[in-house]
Structure 1
Amino acid sequence: MGKYILKRIAQAVPLLLIISIICFTLIQLAPYNAVDAMTNPKMSKKTIELIKIKYGFDKPAYIQYLYWLKGILTGQFGYSIVTHESIFNDLASRIPATMILVLPSYICALILSIILGLMAGLNKNKLADKIIDGFCSIGISIPTFWFAMILVFIFGYELGILPILGMHTIGINSTADFLKHFIMPFIVLTFAFMPENTRYVRSSTIGQLSEDYVMVQEAFGASKFEILFKHVLKNVLLPIITKLGMALPMLITGGVITETVFGWPGVGPYFIKAIQGLDYPVVMAVMVLSSTLVILGNLISDILYVVIDPRIKSMR
């Protein structure tokens, strides 16, 4: 077990290095750079050169990369070239707000997905399955921002029962006020996360219901619901571990569009503003953070697989 974990960690380190190089290279290849964001055509060449020297943009690309990588490894993400604030401090203040919104949404979506997926798998090609599949098709087809704007129009403008923007009303810091702001983005994210997971559970359920152990249980007189929740559910939940691991980056970047639409003070608006303002240090920091969480999620999934499934443990 220990050897396997060390092996997976050893494999993750060079992958993270490659990802950091790719992220840095993509930024370097962008048609506009950080200097363009800080200068204007009226500035003299001397002034522009001084700005380049101040921020280290006069050095070769590989030197810039080494300085940037050193900062990332030491927890120093640098400073925003627009606000001049510490990127680490900005992210530290925004990540909790994002997690407060995304984590409950994903957990709720996962629970509903398991229930609906089991129902659809149990009633394959029947009315319940068609209704659930139709709901999933609609959910996958509808853009998140469009659904968010529909909710804003109905409950914010027309009915006026829910606030449109922010996490709190200015001057009010009560739980009730927070929940009012929380409801719409929570519904949007839950609706966005649910369809794919539901179809995943449905396909796993159908596969498990065709296994021999199900026929044995039926021969012993077990009811459909007893088979479903006592036997099939345990085997269906095992692959969900992979989905849980892959959901880790969603805790940071899973609600970018939704947060931006609702003005939620998380990573989403911060990232979008950085892109619009050509604030490349912020863009690179968020990209590397998200990529790191993807690799970490895969690592956690693999380890949980080994811990939970004895068959996989024996193969290692």
Structure 2
Amino acid sequence: MFTLFAATEDWVLDRRLALAAYGGADPDELESIRQSYLADRGLDRPLTEQYVDWIGNMISLEWGNSFQSGEAVFPLVREATLETALYVVPAIVLATTLGLAVGAYAAMNVRSTRGNGATGIVYLLFAVPNFWIGFLILSASATAAAAFRWGSEFNYITVTELPFLYGRVLPVVLVTTTLLAAIVSYARAYARQYYTADLTKLVRAKGGGRLDVARHVLRNAAIPLLSLVFAETLALLAISVIIIEAVFGIGGIGSLFYNAVWTRDLPVMMGVTVVIVAFGVVGNVVQDLAYSLLDPRVDTGSR
């Protein structure tokens, strides 16, 4: 991120210089504006010095102040991360639960109408962009809320009138549909692989019911599914939250990063990047621990 920032043109500075030139500033004044801009942001120093200082500040959690607002970056990123987690975490739990259940059902009913119907819905969710689903959810909820409002005069519903609906419930629904398609597809594929295995046939021979078979199949498929779910979640945090928070006007980590990019607010951009990278590192540790619980043959203590 730091290298990308240094390699790209500073459109904020270019816009400021263009406005000054339009106002009649001479070359000396333009150079003075440029030097003042770089000095205020600490960008007049060598890149190596800037990077070393940033590494030290990241370790000490002294992430500096935002170029745009002047606020401390660490509390700003922390609050935005918590705001995003309030709808992402419930959605991950809901999508994983529903995805495993629907995927196992589709795998055990491959040739049935219901199984094919579940698979068709999954591919439909894959095909529809999540921002379009968000627009449909937003429009439908506003129409429904207006329909139940007392009075004969129609008024549009704003986000501030129903903050819990627009800031929590609808984003959870959108994130769930975004993750659900991938989880169902993966769960169905891996469950089909284990559904015809000899161990599964042994469970049936011992009198195990459909629930016992599904539990056995999902337990064996859990390890590859865990990695795939984690990868989808990381992609969600890196890309999809920007779209989701733009649609619903949520002040989370996605909107914070989006605004920081457009204003070239380097401290905020780097702070958000650190959070996403930290999630990836912690997620890998959690995966290793989960592997040992799901499969006793995996020995994490010897690593």
TM norm structure 2: 0.83
Matched residue SS, 1:312: coil
Summarize the Cα distance change of 1:314–1:101 in structure 2 as closer, same or farther, 3 Å threshold.
closer
* Root-mean-square deviation over aligned CA pairs: 2.8
Rounded Cα–Cα distance in structure 1 between residues aligned with 2:188 and 2:11: 46
Rounded Cα–Cα distance in structure 1 between residues aligned with 2:2 and 2:147: 45
Rounded Cα–Cα distance in structure 2 between residues aligned with 1:114 and 1:185: 21
2:220 to 215, 231, 235: 235
**Contact 1:71-1:77 within 8 A present in 2 as well:** yes
1:205 to 168, 180, 191: 191
More moved, 80-89 vs 278-287: 278-287
**Contact 1:137-1:195 within 8 A present in 2 as well:** yes
Q: What one-letter code is carried by the residue in structure 1 that aligns with 2:190?
A: S
Identical pairs, percent? 22
Structure 2 residue ranges without an equivalent (≥5): 21-28, 149-155
1:221-279: CA deviation from partner (whole Å, max 9, x where unpaired): 433343223x2232233434334544664785552211111111211222221222222
Rounded Cα–Cα distance in structure 2 between residues aligned with 1:49 and 1:144: 43
Matched residue SS, 1:313: coil
TM norm structure 1: 0.80
Q: What one-letter code is carried by the residue in structure 1 that aligns with 2:271?
A: A
Residue in 2 that maps onto 1:108: 94
Rounded Cα–Cα distance in structure 1 between residues aligned with 2:297 and 2:119: 33
Matched residue SS, 2:146: coil
Rounded Cα–Cα distance in structure 2 between residues aligned with 1:93 and 1:134: 39
Residue in 2 that maps onto 1:173: none
1:79-136: CA deviation from partner (whole Å, max 9, x where unpaired): 2211121111211222211111111111111111011001011112332221111111
Structure 1 residue ranges without an equivalent (≥5): 1-22, 170-175
Rounded Cα–Cα distance in structure 1 between residues aligned with 2:90 and 2:103: 19
What is the correspondence of 1:120-199 to structure 2 with a 5 Å cutoff?
A: 120-157=106-143, 160=146, 166=159, 169=161, 178-179=164-165, 181-199=167-185
Rounded Cα–Cα distance in structure 2 between residues aligned with 1:144 and 1:257: 8
Q: CA deviation at 1:149?
A: 1.0
Residue in 2 that maps onto 1:259: 245
Is 1:80 aligned with 2:66?
Answer: yes
Q: What one-letter code is carried by the residue in structure 2 that aligns with 1:199?
A: S
Is 1:27 aligned with 2:12?
Answer: no
What is the correspondence of 1:285-296 to structure 2 with a 5 Å cutoff?
A: 285-296=271-282
**Contact 1:24-1:284 within 8 A present in 2 as well:** yes
Residue in 2 that maps onto 1:18: none
**Contact 1:139-1:191 within 8 A present in 2 as well:** yes
**Contact 1:136-1:199 within 8 A present in 2 as well:** yes
More moved, 32-41 vs 277-286: 32-41
What is the correspondence of 1:44-83 to structure 2 with a 5 Å cutoff?
A: 44-83=30-69
Rounded Cα–Cα distance in structure 1 between residues aligned with 2:299 and 2:57: 38
Matched residue SS, 2:217: helix
Q: What one-letter code is carried by the residue in structure 1 that aligns with 2:296?
A: P
Rounded Cα–Cα distance in structure 1 between residues aligned with 2:157 and 2:200: 50
Matched residue SS, 2:299: helix
Q: CA deviation at 1:158?
A: 6.8
More moved, 260-269 vs 301-310: 301-310
Rounded Cα–Cα distance in structure 2 between residues aligned with 1:165 and 1:69: 43
Rounded Cα–Cα distance in structure 2 between residues aligned with 1:248 and 1:299: 15
Q: CA deviation at 1:74?
A: 1.1
Summarize the Cα distance change of 1:227–1:303 in structure 2 as closer, same or farther, 3 Å threshold.
closer
Rounded Cα–Cα distance in structure 2 between residues aligned with 1:238 and 1:138: 26
**Contact 2:222-2:294 within 8 A present in 1 as well:** no
1:42-84: CA deviation from partner (whole Å, max 9, x where unpaired): 2531232133233321111111111111111111222221112
Rounded Cα–Cα distance in structure 2 between residues aligned with 1:266 and 1:161: 30
